[in-house]
Amino acid sequence: MSRQANRATDSKKMNSELFTLTYGALVTQLCKDYENDEEVNKQLDKMGYNIGVRLIEDFLARSSIGRCQDFRETADVIAKVAFKMYLGITPSVTNWSPAGDEFSLILENNPLVDFVELPDNHSTLIYSNLLCGVLRGALEMVQMAVDVKFAQDTLRGDSVTEIRMKFIKRIEENLPAGDE
């Protein structure tokens, strides 16, 4: 995506409203095109995954962050660097499982849901599911398989938005066929 010339260390910013409304228009379109919320959720996750796969390169180039030592460091980088860089928010990292393989990101402000209200007939829609896909796709590119899902969502009346992330395994480095 970003060409060498405009790969500034500090990424350019823009008003979040265009971003929010574009996302809203996309979700609305998906709701029209697919029969049920399940399918829409799946599609959002898939799109997010595609974004994540591409975003990680942009992220590594801009942030010049090296390999994380452990999952805790990964969690911190996601919350404090990645979310900050792309969405301008810093979620808090909490609720670690005793084994240290599972945590929650608490988003106080989710820019995707500004102006949004879920109508009653879309009660199973996971509106921001794109984010799960993004996290999953990006981490997969750095050899981490994770399970990401929304545990709480302000759109459904919860007091905060909570994304739960679980470490599954380290992916063995296999160079894709035909790649040097």
Partner 1 sequence: MEARFTRGKSAILERPLSRPKTEVSVSAFALLFSEVVQYCQSRVYSVSELQARLAELGQRVGASLLDVLVLREKNGKRETKVLNILLFIKVSVWRSLFGKEADKLEQANDDDKTYYIIEKEPLVNTYISVPKENSTLNCAAFTGGIIEAILTHSGFPAKVTVHWHKGTTLMIKFDEAVITRDKVLEGR
Which residues are at the interface with partner 1 (CB under 8 A)? 1-2, 11-19, 21-26, 28-30, 33, 43, 47, 50-51, 54-55, 58, 85-88, 109, 111, 114-117, 130, 154-157
Q: Smallest distance, Å, CB 16 to partner 1?
A: 4
> Beta partners for 170?
144
Contact (Cβ atoms closer than 8 angstroms) between residue 168 and residue 146? yes
- Among residues 42, 64, 45, 58, which one has the least CA distance to residue 1? 58
Closer CB to partner 1, 77 or 101, in the complex: 77
- Least Å distance, CB 98 to partner 1, is 34
Give the DSSP letter of residue 111.
G
Q: Nearer Cβ to partner 1, position 16 or 152?
A: 16
CB-nearer residue toward partner 1: 71 or 161: 161
Q: How far is the CB of 95 from partner 1 (least distance, A)?
A: 23
- Token digits of residue 102: 């599972």
- Distance of closest approach, residue 21 Cβ to partner 1, in angstroms: 4
Given a contact cutoff of 8 angstroms between Cβ atoms, the answer to whether 134 and 163 are in contact is no
d(CA 161, CA 163): 7
**Which residues, other chains included, contact 41 with Cβ-Cβ below 8 Å and sequence gap of 6+?**
124, 125, 126, 129
| CB nearer partner 1, residue 68 or residue 160 | 160
